[in-house]
A and B are shown apart, each in its own frame.
Chain A
Amino acid sequence: MSFFPDLSLRWKIPIRVMGAVLGTALAVTAGLLARDYEDMRQNLESHAKSLGRVLANTLVAPVLHDDLWRTFEILQSAREAHPAAAELQAEVMLVVDAERRVFVASDPREFPVGTRVDNLDASFRTLATALASGETADQQVLEPAGASYYFVVSPLIADGEPLGHIALGYSKSAFLPRYLDLVVRAAVVTLLVLLVIVPFSWVWARRTGAPLLALSEAMRLVPAELEMARLAELPKSRDEIGQLGDAFRRMICELKQKQELESQMLVTERLAAVGRLSAGIAHEINNPLGGMLTAIKTYERHGTGDAMAVQTMSLLERGLTQIRNTVAALLVETKTKDRPFEPADVDDLLILVEAQVQAKSLHVSVEGSLDKPLPVPATLVRQILLNLLLNAIAAATESGHVRVAIAADEGKLRLDVGNDGEHISDERMAVLFEPFVSGREKGHGLGLWVVYQIVRQLNGGLSVVSEPGHTTFSIEIPYGEVAT
């Protein structure tokens, strides 16, 4: 069973701890008070019994000698108040003779000499019955239900002959004031203890709940804000909550990987679709285009020389050539025959872009080099490297850096081209390799599309890391046995 099931642990744990603390305090206090009550009763009873015994011994002679006054004086002195323990004072002291008449009482006005115990009021009925039964040879405690007194009855015996009894009547509620005093003191002490314990417990309980709350807080960010969730302050202990935190972190990592994978797949699939579409369109355009260009050439060679027609044909030819170039760019096709990529190719490319580098006063660093020709199509790899270099130069800041790294091992050629320009935004990243998407004013937006198509056709891999001030395109192209 749970109260307030929806209440936050922020409150639930401290409240439960408080409940436990208060419950314990109350239980302990109640237990102690119950024991004190019992002790007090026991104490009172044993005191009454011993007083009864002393009086029974002392009063034998005066009662035997019918010395009423002496008996009364002894009762009075026995009844002297205990200032420290008022409850120890008997309310009623009766010396009853063998005929169950009051021989003398501590309060003679209320219990006149000679009154029959049987005629006293209801409080004394049990006493009268007990005395009448004759079974009072031993000291006994009478506790009449409903009466305000209980009695300790001690027999007065002289030389084996019963002279009567001494009945000490104690008010059942006499020790209540003292007990209440005790209760109040216990309550005060408990309160003081609680005053010390409660703040500690509260803080402690809050601390116990804090890791759970942090975890819950972090979980709320999933899956919308995985990065925030990953950075959340989580408990780093070895207990269950710590383990939970670790599991949570693992989960976040896996989720993130999955999300990235999904978006990559999405990009790849889209690029593949775009590729198929553009290839299809390119083929459809190329066929009539070839015919049209051939027709124009034929006309130029065998035509009538009509100036107007020549001019028109020339215009048509330039337009169609532009279409063919564009389509050719879209339709990247691996030439089956090509020479291997050589170390000198890299130097060639660097010379090719020299003008642009100097125009922006860039610093180009080249790390690594090839020590032998690699069996990859040189034209295509040159195209890749050139496109990436031109992009990097364009993206780099004025007087910035462009970094080129070349490495070949384990059957893979690895090309890294980086720059220190503005990083690629998430929106652009999603469509980065699609055709006709350009980040610049100039350019038709086919550079990276071409790179992508080539890499894909060479069964290579491509990745981009772009952070503010640092963007790197990495290409991996297998060669030799790995390529097939």
Chain B
Amino acid sequence: MTARFPSYDPVRRRFLGQALGLSTAALTTRFAVADTAVRGPIRIGLTPVFLDDQVSFTAQWRRWFEDRLARPVVFVQRGNYREVVDLVRGGKIDFAWLCGYPYVRHRAEMQLVAVPLWRGQPTYQSYVIADAANSSIRSLADMRGTVFAYSDPDSNSGYLYPQYALRVANENPASFFSRTFFTWAHRKVVEAVSVGLATGGAVDGYVWETLAETSPALARGTRIVEKSPYLGYPPFVARHDLPRIELERMRTLLLGMAGDVQGAALLARLRLDGFVPAKPSLYDGIARMMEKVRRA
């Protein structure tokens, strides 16, 4: 195998490694360095902005990309947002599907490619959820002194919004809760709250709604107590030095995905309607929240 498909082999091993939960960071990093020099596979970073535990889905999506781009495609998945963000900023991957928050923070170091459409809009909400068994919690303010679950410190919906909301309420997010922790994935925030490990949590509204459809029992263990305003949906970005032609090719592909039978099927599994072009101003809301949190 190695002799016949030298460029494919690491990919297979990396996916295998991912499936087994092993770290193959060293291997893939070395590969990425080599790839920037020669024309190798396109590397796309994925973050838990969607339900990233669907290995079969990512495999299908990767084949779809390879087929449409006529080039090898490698998905790079990491345990948290920061690693993926750093890979884009360092130019070690070509594209990434990021949260709006790191995009806003590092806007200068990446280019906006396209934004997914969810329920017809390129926006979503952050949900503050509470343990369904705890009926005394009516709002975020009721969660004072409780245990709170964030998804990821670089997540807009899973971290920035609750921080912002507390700031707006003149609370200090660092001391408002008795204890906070990160689950590093939105789905796990829902799990942590539903088993009662945390009294409340912040979760991507798109993820919660999708779970309500796919795992209703899990979603029923939680109750939405607050929803954020509509905010820019996690965008598809490219590294800042990606040649324009490649960026355009990817953008064209994504924008046409809904019109492609297989692409539409993949989007349906993601519960998304398609991709649209977007201006950076879509994320101004997030930027304002960031400013508010940072100023405090």
Q: Which A residues form the contact surface with B (CB < 8 A)?
A: 66-69, 72-73, 104, 107-109, 112-114
Contacts and interface: CB of A to CB of B under 8 A. Distances in A.
Interface in B179-227: 179, 181-184, 188, 192, 195-198
Contacts of B198: 108, 113
6 contacts: A68-B197, A109-B133, A113-B147, A113-B178, A113-B197, A114-B178
Contacts of A73: 188
Given A68-B197, A69-B188, A112 B182 contact: no
Contact of A69 (B133, B149, B178): B149
Interface of B: 133, 147, 149, 178-179, 181-184, 188, 192, 195-198
B152 to A, nearest CB: 11
Contacts of A69: 149, 181-184, 188, 192, 197
Nearest to B184: A69
Given A109-B133, A114-B147, A68 B181 contact: yes
A67 B180 CA distance: 10
Given A112-B147, A113-B147, A114-B147, A66 B181 contact: yes
B188 A109 contact: no
Contact of B181 (A67, A107, A109, A112): A67
Q: Is the interface of A mostly helix, strand, loop or mixed?
A: loop
Contacts of B181: 66-69
A72 B196 CA distance: 11
Nearest to B192: A69
Nearest to A69: B183
Given A69-B188, A113-B147, A114-B178, A108 B195 contact: yes
Most chain A CB atoms below 10 A, which of B133, B181, B198 = B181
A113 to B, nearest CB: 5
B178 A109 contact: no
A108 B182 contact: no
A113 B200 CA distance: 13
B23 to A, nearest CB: 13
B198 to A, nearest CB: 8
Nearest to B150: A69
A107 B197 CA distance: 8
Nearest to B181: A68
Nearest to B183: A69
B82 to A, nearest CB: 15
Contacts of A113: 147, 178-179, 197-198
A109 B181 CA distance: 17
A113 B179 CA distance: 8
A74 to B, nearest CB: 12
Contacts of A107: 196
In the A-B complex, the 4 residue pairs with the smallest Cβ-Cβ separation, listed nearest first, are A68-B181, A109-B196, A108-B197, A69-B183
A67 B181 CA distance: 7
Given A69-B149, A69-B184, A109-B133, A104 B197 contact: yes
Nearest to B199: A112
Contacts of B147: 112-114
Nearest to A104: B197
Nearest to A71: B181
A68 B183 CA distance: 8
Contacts of A112: 147, 196
B213 to A, nearest CB: 24
A174 to B, nearest CB: 22
Given A69-B149, A72-B192, A109-B133, A114 B179 contact: yes
Given A69-B188, A114-B147, A114-B178, 19 more contacts: A66-B181, A67-B181, A67-B182, A68-B179, A69-B182, A69-B183, A69-B184, A69-B192, A72-B192, A72-B195, A104-B197, A109-B195, A109-B196, A112-B147, A113-B147, A113-B179, A113-B197, A113-B198, A114-B179
A66 B179 CA distance: 10
B292 to A, nearest CB: 26
A107 B181 CA distance: 17
A106 to B, nearest CB: 10
Contacts of A108: 195-198
A108 B197 CA distance: 5
A358 B195 CA distance: 132
A112 B149 CA distance: 14
A66 B197 CA distance: 14
Contacts of B192: 69, 72
A67 B182 CA distance: 7
B204 to A, nearest CB: 16
Contacts of A66: 181
B197 A72 contact: yes
B200 to A, nearest CB: 13
B115 to A, nearest CB: 29
B237 to A, nearest CB: 27
A350 to B, nearest CB: 131
B148 to A, nearest CB: 10
A67 to B, nearest CB: 7
A154 to B, nearest CB: 21
A246 B197 CA distance: 91
Contacts of B195: 72, 108-109
Nearest to A101: B179
Contacts of A114: 147, 178-179
Contacts of B197: 68-69, 72, 104, 108, 113
A72 B195 CA distance: 10
Most chain B CB atoms below 10 A, which of A66, A109, A113 = A113
Contacts of A104: 197
B183 to A, nearest CB: 4
Contacts of B182: 67, 69
A73 B179 CA distance: 18
Contacts of A72: 192, 195, 197
Nearest to B147: A113
Nearest to A109: B196
A39 B273 CA distance: 61
A59 to B, nearest CB: 14
B189 to A, nearest CB: 9
